[in-house]
């Protein structure tokens, strides 16, 4: 890395001579070390999944969840520094609540993404702070339909059909593209219910058994079945999807 030692990479308030903000780039490095987080937008809702890496086997099973609710109808899955994730989630909840307070109506995913993005961006402007080491996936169903966004540490955000962040995002994206392409080619798109097993499969595929620690699969959705509320995917459905994912993985291994 040419940036190291130049002195232009120590603060977000300093550009390098070629116009880069290295501190923001370094912040994205923190994201790349985190367990993968995936979001998929279906015709009837959205689904979020994360690979919750377990750094100790003494951790309570099913606890320490990484997905947060920002409002009744919006969920957030972050990848990066866990504590930064909690910070952004709290800010997101405040923004969503403030929108309701002001306008007496639920915030749309787009507007909430915009507000969170502005917040993250502010942390890339001043030497007195560091950027968030966090990529944030926001998903929800609002009056405009199912919506999915991803906000980077720089504050830049885009809407997505499907998105993956964290370790192994490249592989996850390839798999997600296959799903989305089918839809583009005119085949009927997935329902969230069908997508549960797809997301489970992708996360199991991305997880590197040899290199990574153990993990737990965490999944939430917003769809008609959940009353258009952000809720955990029902335990039985999740267990079924996990079993299928494991089976598919073993099958794939045998083929190799």
Report the C-alpha gap between 38 and 199 in whole angstroms.
Answer: 7
**Phi, psi for residue 235 in degrees, rounded to 5:** -55, -40
Question: In this chain, which stretch among 75-83, 112-120, 158-166, 187-195 interacts with another protein, using CB under 8 A?
Answer: 75-83
Near another protein in 104-163, by CB under 8 A:
104, 123, 127-133
* Structural tokens at position 196: 């549960």
* Structural tokens at position 229: 């509320």
Other residues' Cβ atoms within 10 Å of the Cβ of residue 22: 20
**Phi, psi for residue 160 in degrees, rounded to 5:** -135, 155
β-sheet bridge partners, residue 11:
none
The nearest distance, CB 181 to another protein, in angstroms, is 32
Q: Which is nearer to another protein, 33 or 247 (CB)?
A: 33
16 binds another protein (CB under 8 A): no
CB–CB of 192/46 below 8 Å?
yes
Q: Which is nearer to another protein, 83 or 118 (CB)?
A: 83
16, 32, 183, 244: which one contacts another protein (CB under 8 A)?
A: 32
Q: Which is nearer to another protein, 133 or 139 (CB)?
A: 133
Near another protein in 49-68, by CB under 8 A:
56-60, 63-65, 67-68
The nearest distance, CB 26 to another protein, in angstroms, is 4
CB–CB of 64/215 below 8 Å?
no
Task: Using alpha carbons, select from 189, 172, 171 the residue that is nearest to residue 180.
Answer: 189
- Give the binding site for another protein (CB under 8 A): 1, 3-7, 9-12, 22-23, 26-33, 56-60, 63-65, 67-72, 75, 81-84, 86-87, 90, 93, 97, 100-101, 104, 123, 127-133, 220, 230-232
């Amino acid at each position: 890395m040419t940036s190291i030692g130049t002195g232009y990479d120590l603060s977000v308030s300093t550009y390098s001579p070629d116009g880069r903000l290295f501190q923001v780039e370094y912040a994205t490095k923190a994201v790349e070390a985190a367990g993968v987080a995936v979001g998929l937008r279906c015709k009837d809702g959205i689904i979020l999944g994360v690979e919750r890496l377990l750094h100790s086997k003494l951790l309570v099973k099913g606890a320490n969840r990484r997905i947060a609710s920002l409002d009744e109808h919006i969920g957030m899955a972050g990848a990066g520094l866990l504590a930064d994730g909690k910070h952004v989630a709290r800010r997101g909840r405040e923004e969503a609540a403030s929108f309701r307070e002001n306008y007496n109506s639920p915030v749309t995913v787009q507007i909430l993404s915009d507000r969170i993005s502005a917040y993250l961006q502010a942390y890339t402007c001043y030497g007195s702070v560091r950027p968030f080491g966090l990529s944030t996936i926001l998903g929800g169903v609002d009056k405009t339909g199912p919506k999915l966004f991803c906000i980077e540490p720089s504050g830049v955000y885009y809407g997505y059909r499907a998105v993956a962040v964290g370790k192994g995002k490249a592989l996850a994206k390839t798999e997600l593209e296959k799903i989305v392409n089918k839809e583009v080619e005119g085949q009927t798109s997935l329902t969230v219910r069908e997508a549960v097993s797809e997301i489970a499969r992708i996360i199991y595929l991305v997880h590197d058994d040899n290199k990574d620690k153990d993990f737990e699969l965490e999944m939430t959705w917003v769809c008609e079945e959940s009353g258009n509320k952000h809720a955990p995917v029902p335990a039985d459905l999740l267990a079924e999807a996990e079993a299928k994912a494991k089976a598919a993985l073993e099958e794939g291994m045998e083929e190799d």
